[in-house]
C-alpha cells in the first residue's frame, strides 16, 4: 500500500502498522493541531472483499457510541483518494504484551486488567461483544493505563455481525469454547478471552497447547471433556509470585461452561478492583487470604437463587401449616349431647 501525504484534512506522519484490514497511520488534524490514529482501508481491499468494506464502516459506528476512558474515541469517518478511513484517538504507548516483556509489577497489571474489564462492562451494556480480546489488542499508554482496541469483528445489539456467515472468527488461543463451536456468544465469551490473556501475560505460557490451529480449535470446542493433564494448571503453580486470589479470578474466567464464569464484566471488575486496593493495603497478605476465600466460594447468582427460593417455599409452607392448625384449634366446636 502506498502511503499518501494527506488524507482529507489529515496530514500523514508515519505508518504505525498494517494487517488484513489495511493500515494504521499517525496523522495530524491541521485545523486543531490534534494527533490522531487513522485506520485506512485501501480501495483494492474494499473492491476484492465487500465484507471488509462493510466491516470497516460498522466498526466505526459501533466504537463511536462507546464512551469509556479505556476505549479510544472515534472522531470522524471519511473517504479520500479512494480510501476509506477512520480518525480516532491516538494512544501513544505500546501493546501490553510488549510492555510486560520489559517488566510490569503485579499491582500495575491488576490495575490494567481492571480497566479492561471496566471497558468490557460498558461495551456489553451497549450490547457490543468484542470477540477478539487478546494482549495485542490492549494498548498501554505512557501513564500505564489500558486501552482496548480493534472492534473489527465485534457483534452488536442490533444483530450487526461484522463477519462472514459460517466463518469462525477470533484468535484461537484466546477464543471461548462456545465461540469455537460457532454458537451465539455473549459477554461471558469476552470474559473467557480476558482470562486467557491474563494467564498468558502473567505466566509467559500459552494456556492451551496444541500442534496447530486446527487441533487448538478442536480442543477448545470440547474443553469440558478434556482430561485434567490437557487443562491449564492454575497460574500460581507456574508463577508462584502471582497472588492466589488473582490466580483464582483467572481460573473462574476460564471455566469451560459460561454458567460457571463471572456472569458479567462488571462483576469481574469488582473483584479485580478489590484486589488492586488490597495489594496496596498495609497488611496485604492478611487481606488477600480472606479475599482469596471469597473468590473461590462465590457462586453464580442462579446457583444461589435456586436454593434460596426452595428454602423460602419450605418456610412459607411451614408457616401456612402452623396458621392452618391454629385456625382449626380456635374454630368453635359443635355442641354435643349425651343421652341418659
How many separate helices (H) and strands (E) can be counted in the chain?
Answer: 12, 9
- Measured from the Cβ of residue 268, the count of other Cβ atoms closer than 10 Å reads 28
**The three cell numbers locating residue 249:** 479470578
Max Cα–Cα distance, the chain, nearest Å = 123
d(CA 315, CA 311): 6
Is 219 among the residues known to form the active site?
Answer: no
How high is the pLDDT of residue 166?
Answer: 47
Identify the structural domains of the chain with CATH numbers, from first to last.
6-89 (3.30.200.20), 93-296 (1.10.510.10)
DSSP secondary structure letter of residue 295: H
In 3D, which of 191, 177, 156 has the Cα closest to residue 267?
191
Q: What is the pTM of this model?
A: 0.80
How high is the pLDDT of residue 218?
Answer: 82
Tens digits of pLDDT across the chain (340 residues) = 678 899 999 999 999 988 767 889 999 998 999 999 999 988 877 777 777 788 888 888 889 999 999 999 999 999 988 889 999 999 999 999 999 999 999 999 999 999 999 999 999 999 999 999 999 999 999 999 999 998 877 776 555 554 444 456 678 889 999 998 888 899 999 999 999 999 999 999 988 877 777 877 887 888 777 666 677 899 999 999 999 999 999 999 999 999 999 999 999 999 999 999 998 876 666 556 666 555 655 644 444 444 544 455 556 555 655 555 555 555 554 443 333 3
How high is the pLDDT of residue 283?
Answer: 67
* Annotated catalytic residue within 49, 97, 132, 190: 132
How high is the pLDDT of residue 168?
Answer: 62
**The three cell numbers locating residue 155:** 457483534
Cell match 477512520: residue? 86
Amino acid at each position: 500500500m502506498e502511503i499518501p501525504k494527506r488524507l482529507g484534512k489529515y496530514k500523514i506522519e508515519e505508518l504505525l502498522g498494517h494487517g488484513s484490514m489495511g493500515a494504521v497511520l499517525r496523522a495530524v488534524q491541521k485545523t486543531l493541531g490534534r494527533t490522531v490514529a487513522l485506520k485506512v482501508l485501501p480501495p483494492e481491499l474494499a473492491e476484492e472483499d465487500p465484507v471488509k468494506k462493510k466491516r470497516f464502516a460498522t466498526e466505526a459506528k459501533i466504537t463511536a457510541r462507546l464512551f469509556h476512558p479505556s476505549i479510544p474515541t472515534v472522531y470522524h469517518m471519511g473517504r479520500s483518494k479512494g480510501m476509506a478511513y477512520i480518525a480516532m484517538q491516538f494512544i501513544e504507548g505500546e501493546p501490553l504484551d510488549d510492555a510486560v516483556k520489559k517488566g510490569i509489577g503485579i499491582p500495575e497489571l491488576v490495575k490494567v486488567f481492571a480497566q479492561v474489564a471496566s471497558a468490557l462492562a460498558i461495551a456489553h451494556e451497549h450490547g457490543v461483544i468484542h470477540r477478539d480480546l487478546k494482549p495485542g489488542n490492549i494498548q498501554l499508554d505512557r501513564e500505564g493505563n489500558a486501552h482496548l482496541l480493534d472492534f473489527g469483528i465485534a457483534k452488536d445489539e442490533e444483530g450487526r455481525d461484522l463477519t462472514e456467515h459460517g466463518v469462525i472468527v477470533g484468535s484461537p488461543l484466546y477464543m471461548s469454547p462456545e465461540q469455537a463451536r460457532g454458537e451465539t456468544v455473549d459477554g461471558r465469551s469476552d470474559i473467557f478471552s480476558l482470562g486467557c490473556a491474563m494467564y498468558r501475560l502473567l505466566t509467559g505460557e500459552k494456556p492451551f497447547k496444541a500442534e496447530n490451529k486446527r487441533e487448538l480449535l478442536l480442543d477448545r470446542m470440547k474443553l469440558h471433556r478434556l482430561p485434567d493433564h490437557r487443562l491449564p494448571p492454575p497460574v500460581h503453580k507456574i508463577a508462584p509470585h502471582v497472588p492466589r486470589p488473582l490466580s483464582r479470578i483467572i481460573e473462574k474466567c476460564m471455566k469451560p461452561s459460561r454458567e460457571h464464569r463471572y456472569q458479567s464484566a462488571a462483576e469481574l471488575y469488582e473483584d479485580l478492583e478489590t484486589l488492586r486496593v488490597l495489594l496496596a493495603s498495609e497488611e496485604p497478605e492478611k487481606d488477600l487470604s480472606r479475599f482469596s476465600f471469597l473468590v473461590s466460594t462465590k457462586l453464580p447468582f442462579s446457583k444461589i437463587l435456586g436454593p434460596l427460593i426452595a428454602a423460602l417455599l419450605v418456610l412459607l409452607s411451614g408457616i401456612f401449616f402452623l396458621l392452618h392448625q391454629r385456625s382449626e384449634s380456635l374454630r368453635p366446636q359443635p355442641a354435643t349431647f349425651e343421652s341418659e
